Chains A and B, each alone.
Chain A
């Protein structure tokens, strides 16, 4: 029975992989958040990208646990711990990182095959960056009213975003994703798995290549990501709703202020009363 199963990791091993990726990638993203980037001419040099950690681990372990662990680690360490949590918009980053890492992890059959590891690493990175770029362009288009009317803004957004994508892919992608992954995967293969009590990935324990199910899943996830990001920034119907309500005038606003004052007064009174009661009891 056990042999016929393709999935070889048990639940607790998956949790181990999750914790491992979360801690490592979280630490790395924390550094990237803290280290300032510097610019040389028009090319921006930043250590933006430590994606090689989840990429490496995804090629060695269960890709889904790694992908979720990496996204959670980034969310918790660099967003929540530093208080930079962006609300619904974080869902976009979470999902794009998950997709990129998962796809890269599924692509590799034999971690000792340098060529495939390299292709998978750069594909995962490019996928993640590209999705981020598309969402960013859409985001600015929706966030600024009369996007087309503002002089020079549309071109500048396309130019900056497109340039940032190429810059990230060619600089950070190669230097910080491709090369370290090529170095780490063959070196860690067969060494790190026994530490978690697992067998190294081979033909039997491989999950199988990318099939239609993976592609559809990724597309759906990306649609959700883009939708969440746009919902977080646009909310067109609500703007119209707000406009109608703001026009209805000062009277409503005064009513709101009065209600708020009464609420504050009532709570203060209740609080004072409760404190008095407590003092009497003591």
Chain B
């Protein structure tokens, strides 16, 4: 009993807002020295496009397995934060594992497994490719890469802004929640009914916390936009000369080409395998 309590405390300790913030920040800025992070964002986006789309069009098990192994290796190389990988695993299971269980309920048998395995491999390959590219890259490099391909300036602005504003917003949200906790009077939650009441109380506090947060964020976004206006943001966003200056730092090196060529080699081998078997 004591051990159980300790364990649940331990898990709750780990799953605080601080922990979430650290994981997200680590994911964004913590790994800019990996092999993947040093590649050119444009090349990586092309690579992602291939591995995000091609698996959906192929139904060969060997080929899909090959793609899956390749993106698995790149994910390990990108040193993605643990939380993201956990989310990935849960996501894949809920998308297909759940379906498998339910189809058994409706009278499916072992023949259901192969199509679902193919579906799982497709989903897993695409998600891991996106984890590699979008978690492995620095947000600024990522938004530059997207801008080079002509994505709207709003999107790359949003990405850069999001990574900078998020830690502040999380801290503010936590402070508001703490002040609610300090002043509030939560219902006793020893019995079952009390626990239910406590849960509803918690949900209510989260909802109420958004009221001050909305007002604060409104002030902050006005300041942001006014600061942007001073720098002439809305004119710079559509100006070609500004864009050229911004993107001048991007450079394709031999490492990028090598990365593409090795991926191509691996895929060619898996195509060879798929024709042999």
B162 & A88 in contact (Cβ 8 Å cutoff): no
Residue among B132, B221, B274 having the largest count of chain A Cβ atoms under 10 Å:
B221
Bound complex: CA of A156 vs CA of B105, how far in Å?
8
B115 & A250 in contact (Cβ 8 Å cutoff): no
Contact of B222 with A by CB under 8 A: yes
Interface size on A, residues (CB 8 A): 90
A11 to B, closest residue via Cβ:
B234
Bound complex: CA of A57 vs CA of B217, how far in Å?
12
Q: Given A83-B131, A196-B222, A250-B275, are A24 and B165 neighbors across the interface (CB < 8 Å)?
A: no
Residue numbers in A under 8 Å from B80 (CB-CB): 83
Q: Given A12-B225, A152-B104, A267-B258, are A84 and B211 neighbors across the interface (CB < 8 Å)?
A: no
Residue numbers in A under 8 Å from B48 (CB-CB): 87
Q: Given A26-B162, A86-B126, A156-B106, are A195 and B112 neighbors across the interface (CB < 8 Å)?
A: no
List B residues 104-160 near A (Cβ within 8 Å).
104-109, 111-112, 115-116, 118-119, 122, 126-127, 130-136, 139, 142, 154-155, 158-159
Chain B residues in contact with chain A, CB under 8 A? 20, 24, 27-28, 48-49, 52-53, 56-60, 80, 83-84, 87-88, 90-91, 98-99, 102-109, 111-112, 115-116, 118-119, 122, 126-127, 130-136, 139, 142, 154-155, 158-159, 161-163, 165-166, 169-170, 173, 203, 207-208, 210-211, 213-215, 217-222, 224-226, 228-229, 234, 254-255, 257-258, 261-262, 264-265, 267-269, 271-272, 274-276
Residue numbers in A under 8 Å from B91 (CB-CB): 84
Question: Which 8 pairs show the lowest CB-CB distances between chains A and B?
Answer: A83-B135, A152-B106, A260-B265, A152-B108, A256-B268, A271-B254, A83-B131, A253-B272
A23 & B84 in contact (Cβ 8 Å cutoff): no
Other-chain residue from A52, A144, A151 in contact with B109 (beta carbon distance below 8 A): A151
List A residues 160-200 near B (Cβ within 8 Å).
160, 175-176, 179-180, 183-184, 187-188, 191-192, 195-197
List A residues 248-282 near B (Cβ within 8 Å).
249-250, 252-254, 256-257, 259-261, 263-264, 267-268, 270-271, 274
Bound complex: CA of A247 vs CA of B225, how far in Å?
58
Other-chain residue from B87, B112, B274 in contact with A246 (beta carbon distance below 8 A): B274
